[in-house]
Structures are given as C-alpha cells and as structure tokens.
A and B are shown apart, each in its own frame.
Chain A
C-alpha cells in the first residue's frame, strides 16, 4: 500500500520535537540554551505543519490508521492547542528550570498520543493511543513545586485512570468476543441493539466508559475538579482542553455505530443530561476558579454528547465545531488564570476582585472567555451551542435539547460570578501577587485568543465548512 510522508506529517513533526526535547533533557543544563526560548516557536510551527497535511486522505498500517478530513481537522486543532499550552507553560514558576525540558517532553508525548487517537480506527490502536496520552499526564500532574495537593491530584488521576482503562479493556474483550472484529468500519455494520447482542452493548458501554473518563462525563468526572485544583495552573490548562479533543474525536467515530433509538444511544443521552446538570449545579458553589472551570468541563462534556446522539452528519460537524470552540474559550479562561497568578498559586474568586483596575485587558479577556463558555452571542460558544442544539432537534431527543438549553440558565451564575468579581468588586481580600513584568506578553496572546473566540462566533462559516467536511468523513 502506498504511504506518503505528507499524510502523517503532523505526527512526524511532533515525534521530531519529542526527540529533540528528549536530547535536551539529558545531561547538565549549563551549556544548553533554555528550552522555553524555542519550544513555543517549534510548537507553533507544528500547527502550520498540520495545516499542510490538512487535505491528506488515506489508510495506513493494515487499515488501522485512517487519514481523513476528521482526523486532519482534529490534528490541526490539537497542534494549535498544544502550541498555546506550551506558550502558556513557558512562564510557569512552579517547576524547576532543569525539569522544564522533561515537562515539555511529557506534554508533547501526550499530544502525540491524541494525534494518533484522531486517526485510530481500530480498537486496539485506539487503546494504545489513549494510553500514550494518559501515561505522560500521570507524570505531569504531580510536577508542581511547593504544593502537596499536586501529589494527591496525581495519585487520584492515576487511580481513576487505571480503573477507567481497566473498564475499557474489559469492555473491549466483550466487543471482540461478540462482534469478532476490532475494526470500527466493520463494527459499524453490526447490530448494536440489546436484543441482538447484549454482550456487545455491555462491552461498548464499558469501552465508552474509558473515554468518558477522559471527557470527564458524569459519573466519570470525580477526578476533574480535584486534579485541576491540585495540578499547576499550566498543567490544568492542558488537561482541561486537549484530552477532551481526543475523546470527542473518538466518540464521533464511534457514533457511526449508534443510531437514535438504540439503548446505548439512550444511555448516552441520559448521561449527557446528568453530566451537564450535575456539572452546572456543582460549579455554583465553588470558590476556586480552577474548580469552577473543572465542573464547567463536566457540563460541556454533556453538551457535546447532545450533538452525537443525533448520529447525523450535521451532528458530527456540530460536535467537531464545538470541540474547537471549547478549546478556544477554555484556553482563553485558563490563560487569564495563569497570568493573574504568576507565582503559580491557585486562584480564588476573591483574587479576581478589582481585576479591571489592576489589569483591564486581562479582565476583558476573561469576560470574553466566560461569556463564551456560557454561550452568549457573539462568541464561538454561542455558535457552537446553536449548531449542537439544531442538529439534535427532531431526532427523538428533544428533551435533551430542552435540558441543555435550560442548563445555560443555571450555568449563568458561576460564569457571571467570575466577571462580577473582576468588574464590580474593588479590593482583593488577600494581597494580589504583582503581575509579572512582560504583561504585554499576556495581553498580546490572550487578546489574540479572545479575538479568535469572537471571530469564530461572528464569522463561523469557514471553520464550520471544515467541520462539516470532517463530519461527512464519517457519515457521508
């Protein structure tokens, strides 16, 4: 079978970056230039490289690896998100300088796993890719100086992750036993109703559990707020954004198995409703900004599923679009969180007080991010939600659409709370850390993210066209 290099250019580039980082992490640090001087540029170039192979199509590795519009769409999104998180992490204070190369090495490995996940169309490949991305995260989360909570978060993430992985493998064995194949393309042709093969339904449910863990969907969400709180702000930025993309792309691929009305689709719909309701309600009483964003993740995982239960091309496109919108708006919020805590502390709601005076630009960026997560126009969040809800209407899950819409009203309070603290309260209760020198850095890139959030909301057509192409790669 013909294999052309440009098909897997993003993965190769990522691998190259990993090799260089590996070499960088070796030996004595004195004779080397600092890693954070070049890594953001290298990661930024990775995004450009991923755009080069945007149009590539093909099958590789005994048909286990599929290069199509969907995978390339998500690879570009992952490369973009990776570049932003790396840029964000260069100013990290809670990590020793000599560990930085290792830190970025692990980040890059995790992102590589997600890229492979975007193309994997065979369940074992899927499993391996998922593990590649998770293992590096297990090591990343405790990497935070002066914070005992980080170790706790790391252990929690490993334990939950191990259980979820075990469940997924267990489910995989059932699927293999009942459907006799591990290729998604063949699995799509099988009957997934309870009546035809209960074993397969159980297996798929368990297998999906592993991904719901990544996505932090209720009831697999318990780790999310604790891990976000324990991990450093920069690590939390990564954990809360990119692994979600991996989970969503896989769910989109698995959706080709789901038809509206199947038991498993209904399970998915119920989980989505529970997830968004629980996430939003739990976020209402949080005071730690990262925990708020953690629970908001749980809610957003539910929103994405709304598009998937419809199992239509539009639904896939809406989910892909929403994934990118979510990436942008969450990165925007976390960007501000990282900037206002240059000493790496956890940010409480009260720390946001008076932000409009200390840093009017950051306050505005935070407002854009928070209102986008809420789903107010004219932001990417609104357009994403509109596409999600429209695609799900009239496919038998109208109640889910209504629940999702009502959840917006619930979520208003905590998103607005962040803006309210930034804009209407005057003095922080504890002395705020001085904003680091080079505030222009935070404003420039944060402003760019905020502008992107607005631009995708006002002119969503180009991105949506790409998402639509990605969606029709699964269900033409």
Chain B
C-alpha cells in the first residue's frame, strides 16, 4: 500500500462542511447555487487522487489514524477498500448533479437547502470511510438531520408525516446498533473495525449483535416488511432528496451488512441467512408487485427500489463470490440508475407540476430527448443486456442458482416484474394520448448536463464492467475468505450454535441438521 501523506479522506469529508460555513455569508439565491455547484465540482476534483487506489490489495488504503478520546478508546480512523471506494465515488459524483437538478425546483430558502445538501454529502462520505465504530455511528446518525430537513422543509404536501416517519424508523433501528457496538467494544476491547474483524466473538454475542445490527441495516435498506417509510419519504422529498436517498442512503444499509455483519458476526450471519434470504425474496417480489399497481411515477420508482435492494441483500447472504460481486455491482448500479430516474421525474415535474403518470402522457413527439434518456434508464433499471444493471442482476442470479436453484427460481419473477412495470410506465410516457404535453420544451442544457453523465455510466458499466470487478474483487475475496475461515472454526462449537438456535425460538437438538444448515451455502466459487 502506497503511503499517502495528504489527508485525502479528511479533506473529502470536511471540504463540504467548510463550504457550508461560507454559505452563511452569501445572500442571493443565484450566487448560492453557483457557489455550491463550484464547491461540488472542487469536491469532485479533490476525489481525483482516489484513482490512485491500489487494485492489487484488499487492505484499507488512504488510511488516517489519530487519537480522538484516548481514555475511551475512540479514534479518528479513516480508510477505504474496494467495498467503500465505489460508494464514495458515487456520493461525490452525485453532489453536482443534485445541485443542478434542484436549480429551478427549489425556490424558497435556497441557502438552507444547499446547506443540507453539503452537510449530507459530508456525513455520507464519512459513513463509508469510517473505520472506527463510533465514528461510523456519528456519521450514520449525523446524516439523519439534514435528510429530515430536506424532506420536512422542501417536501410535498404530506412532508411532515413522511419526514417524521423516516426519522423515527431509522433512529429506532440504530439505537440497538449503538448497543451492539458497545457490546463489541467490551468484548473485543476496541472500537477499531479492522481490529474487531480479526477477533472472534462468542456465538451468543454474535447472535444478539447480528439481530441488533440487522434491524438497523434492514430498516435502512429497506427490506420488507420494514420498508414502509421509503415510499412516503421518496414521494414527498424534493428531487435532490430522493436522489440522495435512493442512491446513497439505502446503500448504507447494505454497506453495513457487508462491513459489519459478515466479518464480525459470521456464524450468526450464516445461521440467520435463510431468514435474510427469505426477506430479500419477499422484498423483490413484493416491491415489484406493488410498483405495478402505482400511478405516481415516484412511487413506482420507490417500490422498484425495494425490489432492487432485495437483490442486493440476496446477493450478500448467499455468501458466494458471484452473489457478493453482484450485490456490490447492484449497489453502484442502483445508485446510478434510480438516481437518474428520480432526476427524470423531477425534470418532468418542472413542466407538468404533477408526478401522476396520467398527467405526463405521450411525450415522445414533444420531448424526444427526454424519452430517449428515460428509455435508457428504464431499460437499465430492469436489467436489459448491455446496461449496468444486467451485469449485477445476472451475477446475483448466478450466485442464487449456485447456492440453491429454488432461491434462483424464486427471484426470477422479481426480475420479470421489474420489466413489466417499467415497460408499462415507459409505454404510457412515450406513446400515451398526449394530454398536456403539447408545447413543453425538450431538455435544456442544464438537464442534459446532469443526465448525460449518468447515461454514460449506465452504458460504460454495462458494456465494460471489468474495471469495477478489478476494484471490488480483492476486497470481496478477502471478505468471503475471512467469513469461511471463521464459520469453519466455529463448526466444532456446536453447543454454542445450538444456543443461537434457541434464541431464535427453536431447539435444534439435532447437531447434524444444524451443521447442514451451516454448511449448505458453501457451494459457490
């Protein structure tokens, strides 16, 4: 690992905060927008040294380690690996797009809006960089307030309900995460995540900690049946809020599974994998089925998120290479595609002032460029070959079939449902009977500028996914190798595993059966 002396990650986290402070001294909305756009582009420039990421290792890179509260073992510990670097890149890249897509949409309290955007970005990057458990938690929670304000202040008519629901769900989930991290601190003697990964924990601790963490992360993802905050929040949030929510916030849940649940609680993760897989499949099918029945464009995309994130969690809990690769791919792809779809809804909302499908029919003759982009993103969203989602979804499905054909078979209808609701939406938007669309202008330069980058990435990742594989593979392989050794080590400790079973409510008196549960998803590779 190359020594890197400039505190790159600190700069990435604190530059937007510094920009927040400067915002206080600006008055005119136009200046605020230009300033935030400039700041976001500088932030993007700051992230360029991340390209120096060493592809050959699974170790954490760009590490910064300083004491924070030495008496309590807290440290300011940052670093990235193949799992987090893509998420950081995604967050940094989305910021200018969010500023651009709010250029006209946000008219009141412009300064505060951009303040929230910048603050959010800081916290999100912090979540993906933090290697100290408490630092992670600080960023994880700090992000709630600006997101709450984005929905509650600039949201739609039901914004108060939606924002409180969002806050309550996510905070309720993360309170137990706090307890879990304290338990790890006492049992493992440190808050440092890389050090905790090296340690083994008792099965009982793993079981409880897994359940506590899984609750927090499953709410964030969100997994069925904890998903109900998501459609409300998405529908009410302003465009930039929806984009951040879909592209970055949801990823924190799956990132949490990959960063904490698998390395810290491998035995419990394996034990509860059937449950998690069942919930993932339920999310895929349920999200798709509900999306099919919606008339609000944002709701369709929101429920499609539930389904897509179901693929991610499914991939994670298959514990094989293809599943994990596919999950990481989907995290990135869903961020790009769904973010872009939300921006498209925002763009048409600026013209029709309605998100209902019936108010936006027959756009193909009046807004051909718009429909062109929409078509591309819709195809990408249901995993059309040649687009980015195809790669990820295919990998997850391969992983699922390798693990157990029934799991794969159960996930297939979800993929088909996605095609159904998105094609239906696309068909109406493109060829429905035009109601009001006459006279609307096609995409302007600003809209091109935020849709084009997303479109480029959709096709680039779809056609040449190799670069993403090279980034994620060392870390994924390291993660799975560590996972296998730890679960294999835990095998002789059957009585403890039985205790874990008892926690779940069933008494597994038959050790043979238990070990078969534990062993079964090893088929991959």
Interface residues of A (CB under 8 A from B): 317, 367, 371, 376-378, 382-383, 385-387, 389-390, 393-394, 401-402, 405-406, 408-409, 412-413, 416, 420, 423-424, 460-461, 464-465, 468
Chain B residues 59-80 with CB under 8 Å of chain A are 67-72
The reply to whether A377 and B142 form a contact with Cβ atoms under 8 Å apart is yes
Q: Using Cβ atoms and an 8 Å threshold, which residues of chain B touch A367? A: 145
Q: Looking across the interface, which residue of chain A has its beta carbon closest to that of B149?
A: A423
CA distance A203 to B168 in the complex (A): 43
B26 contacts partner chain A, Cβ-Cβ < 8 Å: no
CA distance A393 to B68 in the complex (A): 21
The reply to whether B178 and A389 form a contact with Cβ atoms under 8 Å apart is yes
Which of B68, B168, B175 gathers most chain A CB within 10 Å? B175
Q: Which 5 A-B pairs have the closest CB atoms?
A: A377-B138, A409-B172, A405-B175, A394-B186, A461-B69
B185 contacts partner chain A, Cβ-Cβ < 8 Å: yes
Q: How many A-B residue pairs have CB under 8 A?
A: 85
The reply to whether A377 and B149 form a contact with Cβ atoms under 8 Å apart is no
B176 contacts partner chain A, Cβ-Cβ < 8 Å: yes
Q: Looking across the interface, which residue of chain A has its beta carbon closest to that of B111?
A: A360
Q: Looking across the interface, which residue of chain B has its beta carbon closest to that of A374?
A: B171
CA distance A377 to B122 in the complex (A): 14
The reply to whether B171 and A389 form a contact with Cβ atoms under 8 Å apart is no
Q: Looking across the interface, which residue of chain A has its beta carbon closest to that of B155?
A: A424
- Would you give the shortest CB distance from B322 to chain A, in whole angstroms? 37
Select one of A389, A424, A468 contacting B179, CB under 8 A: A389
The reply to whether B69 and A408 form a contact with Cβ atoms under 8 Å apart is no
Grouping DSSP codes into helix (H, G, I), strand (E, B) and loop, the A interface class, with mixed when no group exceeds half, is: helix
The reply to whether A460 and B167 form a contact with Cβ atoms under 8 Å apart is no
CA distance A147 to B183 in the complex (A): 50
The reply to whether B142 and A424 form a contact with Cβ atoms under 8 Å apart is no
Q: Using Cβ atoms and an 8 Å threshold, which residues of chain B touch A393? A: 179, 182-183, 185-186
| With A377-B138, A405-B179, A409-B171 as contacts: A464 and B145 at CB distance below 8 Å | no
The reply to whether A386 and B144 form a contact with Cβ atoms under 8 Å apart is no
Select one of B68, B148, B179 contacting A461, CB under 8 A: B68
B509 contacts partner chain A, Cβ-Cβ < 8 Å: no
The reply to whether B152 and A402 form a contact with Cβ atoms under 8 Å apart is no
CA distance A409 to B172 in the complex (A): 5
| With A386-B134, A409-B168 as contacts: A460 and B182 at CB distance below 8 Å | no
Interface residues of B (CB under 8 A from A): 67-72, 134, 137-139, 141-142, 144-145, 148-149, 152-153, 159-160, 163-164, 167-168, 171-172, 175-176, 178-179, 182-183, 185-186
18 contacts between A and B (CB under 8 A): A376-B141, A377-B137, A385-B178, A389-B179, A393-B183, A393-B185, A401-B182, A408-B171, A409-B172, A412-B167, A412-B172, A416-B148, A420-B152, A420-B163, A423-B152, A424-B152, A424-B153, A464-B72
Q: Looking across the interface, which residue of chain B has its beta carbon closest to that of A410?
A: B172
| With A405-B178, A424-B152 as contacts: A390 and B141 at CB distance below 8 Å | no
- Would you give the shortest CB distance from A264 to chain B, in whole angstroms? 24
CA distance A405 to B179 in the complex (A): 7
- Would you give the shortest CB distance from B126 to chain A, in whole angstroms? 10
Q: Using Cβ atoms and an 8 Å threshold, which residues of chain B touch A468? A: 71
The reply to whether A413 and B168 form a contact with Cβ atoms under 8 Å apart is yes
Q: Using Cβ atoms and an 8 Å threshold, which residues of chain A touch B160? A: 420, 424
The reply to whether B176 and A405 form a contact with Cβ atoms under 8 Å apart is yes
CA distance A87 to B134 in the complex (A): 36
The reply to whether B71 and A461 form a contact with Cβ atoms under 8 Å apart is yes
CA distance A7 to B185 in the complex (A): 39
Q: Using Cβ atoms and an 8 Å threshold, which residues of chain B touch A382? A: 138, 141
Q: Using Cβ atoms and an 8 Å threshold, which residues of chain B touch A385? A: 178
The reply to whether A390 and B172 form a contact with Cβ atoms under 8 Å apart is no
The reply to whether A377 and B141 form a contact with Cβ atoms under 8 Å apart is yes
The reply to whether A376 and B145 form a contact with Cβ atoms under 8 Å apart is yes
Q: Using Cβ atoms and an 8 Å threshold, which residues of chain B touch A376? A: 141-142, 144-145
- Would you give the shortest CB distance from B24 to chain A, in whole angstroms? 10
Select one of A387, A412, A416 contacting B72, CB under 8 A: A387
CA distance A408 to B175 in the complex (A): 7
Which of A377, A382, A385, A406 gathers most chain B CB within 10 Å? A377
The reply to whether B164 and A460 form a contact with Cβ atoms under 8 Å apart is no
CA distance A444 to B496 in the complex (A): 59
| With A413-B168, A461-B70, A468-B71 as contacts: A424 and B159 at CB distance below 8 Å | yes
- Would you give the shortest CB distance from B414 to chain A, in whole angstroms? 32
| With A401-B179, A406-B175, A413-B168 as contacts: A378 and B149 at CB distance below 8 Å | no
Q: Looking across the interface, which residue of chain B has its beta carbon closest to that of A395?
A: B186
- Would you give the shortest CB distance from B250 to chain A, in whole angstroms? 20
Q: Looking across the interface, which residue of chain B has its beta carbon closest to that of A468?
A: B71
CA distance A393 to B70 in the complex (A): 19
Select one of B138, B153, B182 contacting A390, CB under 8 A: B182
Q: Using Cβ atoms and an 8 Å threshold, which residues of chain A touch B183? A: 393
Which of A390, A408, A468 gathers most chain B CB within 10 Å? A390
- Would you give the shortest CB distance from A291 to chain B, in whole angstroms? 21
The reply to whether A420 and B138 form a contact with Cβ atoms under 8 Å apart is no
| With A382-B138, A424-B152, A460-B69 as contacts: A409 and B179 at CB distance below 8 Å | no
The reply to whether A390 and B186 form a contact with Cβ atoms under 8 Å apart is yes
The reply to whether B71 and A465 form a contact with Cβ atoms under 8 Å apart is yes
CA distance A382 to B181 in the complex (A): 14
CA distance A344 to B183 in the complex (A): 47
Q: Looking across the interface, which residue of chain A has its beta carbon closest to that of B148?
A: A416
CA distance A408 to B176 in the complex (A): 10
Q: Using Cβ atoms and an 8 Å threshold, which residues of chain A touch B172? A: 409, 412
CA distance A416 to B148 in the complex (A): 10
- Would you give the shortest CB distance from A364 to chain B, in whole angstroms? 10
CA distance A357 to B179 in the complex (A): 38
Besides A376-B145, A393-B183, 9 more A-B contacts (Cβ < 8 Å) are A393-B186, A402-B179, A405-B179, A409-B168, A413-B168, A420-B163, A420-B164, A424-B159, A424-B163
The reply to whether B176 and A402 form a contact with Cβ atoms under 8 Å apart is yes
CA distance A377 to B153 in the complex (A): 21
- Would you give the shortest CB distance from B340 to chain A, in whole angstroms? 29
Q: Using Cβ atoms and an 8 Å threshold, which residues of chain A touch B145? A: 367, 371, 376
Q: Using Cβ atoms and an 8 Å threshold, which residues of chain B touch A378? A: 138, 142
Q: Using Cβ atoms and an 8 Å threshold, which residues of chain A touch B185? A: 390, 393
